[in-house]
Amino acid sequence: MITPAIEVSGLRKSFGAQTVLDGIDLTVPKGSIFALLGPNGAGKTTLIHILSTLVAPDAGSARVGGHDVVADKAGVKRSVSLTGQFAAVDEILTAEENLRMMGRLSGLTPPEARARADQLLAHFDLAAAARKRVKTFSGGMRRRLDLAVSLVVDRPILFLDEPTTGLDTRSRRALWDIILELAGRGITIFLTTQYLEEADQLADTIAVIAHGRVVACGTAEALKSRIGGDVLELIGANDEIIREIPTDGSIRAVQQSLEELARTAPAGARVGIRKPSMDDVFLALTSNPREGTFS
């Protein structure tokens, strides 16, 4: 059997009286993109910190790249790169200087560090800004540099903690392309996000975390089908959604919903039918931690 990139079992972590992780189990196959989706304060960053050995768990076990996060921290560190919400980029330095410095700190010779910096600047569309100080960068440029810095040394597993939070749509999509390209090269990607659409677009597997537990785990399609059938939408004359009625997808349920809509719909309204969105899934799964639990 191929060893998974990440294996987590019964992981627990509390800060004082607050239980943040209350028994997390998950497996991430090598070369896949895994998205951990959860609201603010759900424990996403804490889990990434445990998996990258920055924080010790209270109980349970986790292996990353085949190495135990407690017993073999050095092995884990050799296997992972981490891009945090506030990565260790020096704002006073230029993009080029940051990349070269990281190369030197990682053991590259000066010519190697220079070559790697040039390669990454070109790849991340930062060559024109290479000699500008990072403090003058836009949010999107800054995130691309954060990612580039974490890739100075090739590692098989990449942790991305909320890689696109605060970015506009264009910058977000540019970063998604980069993430997909990295995965295409065989790098295992573990990312956290609050954006359902992001998890839907990128991830092979999505785990929803709430109240310290994984309340659902599967493909986007599996999660959506989990909460039922299609959603009927009543759409107004100006394309606004007037009402949404979840159905179990059966003819009878759709018929009943249509009859109800026919009685109340304003003039000019029409009906649409759609699959449940990740927002529907998220709300259904996080509203009650004990309902909808599956793995």
Ligand X SMILES: Nc1ncnc2c1ncn2[C@@H]1O[C@H](COP(=O)(O)OP(=O)(O)OP(=O)(O)O)[C@@H](O)[C@H]1O
288, two tokens: 């009650």
Helix (H) or strand (E) holding 98: helix 95-105
Work out the widest C-alpha separation in the chain, in whole angstroms: 75
Q: Of 160 and 234, which has the nearer Cβ to ligand X?
A: 160
The residues, ordered by sequence, that sit 6+ positions from 22 with a Cβ below 8 Å of its Cβ are 12, 211, 212, 213
Sign of the four-CA dihedral 288, 290, 292, 293: positive
Where are the extended beta strands (E) located within 157-255? 157-161, 188-193, 205-210, 213-218, 231-235, 241-246
Residues 8, 20, 69, 191: which binds ligand X (CB under 6 A)?
20
Q: Which one of 32, 45, 52, 94 is in contact with ligand X (CB under 6 A)?
A: 45
Report the alpha-carbon distance of residue 279 to residue 242 in Å, rounded: 17
Least distance CB 84 / ligand X (angstroms): 10
Closer by beta carbon to ligand X, 29 or else 289: 289
Structure tokens at 177: 């392309």
Which one of 3, 9, 15, 122 is in contact with ligand X (CB under 6 A)?
15
Which residues ranging from 167 to 196 are in contact with ligand X (CB under 6 A)?
Answer: 194
Name which of residues 132 to 161 contact ligand X (CB under 6 A): none
Does the protein bind ligand X through residue 41 (CB under 6 A)?
yes
Among 26, 44, 143, 284, binds ligand X (CB under 6 A): 44
Name the pairing type of β-strands 213-218 and 205-210. antiparallel
Q: Which of 4, 26, 32, 46 binds ligand X (CB under 6 A)?
A: 46
Q: Is 166 in the site for ligand X (CB under 6 A)?
A: no
43 scored as a contact of ligand X (CB under 6 A): yes
Q: Any contact of residue 38 with ligand X (CB under 6 A)?
A: yes
Closest to ligand X by CB, 15 vs 255, is: 15
Cα 1 to Cα 19: distance, rounded to the nearest angstrom? 34
Tokens of 188: 């295992």
User: 66, 90, 70: which is closest to 80 by C-alpha?
Assistant: 66
Site string for ligand X, 191-220 (x = CB under 6 A): ---x--------------------------
Contacts with ligand X, residue ranges (CB under 6 A) = 15, 20, 38, 40-46, 194
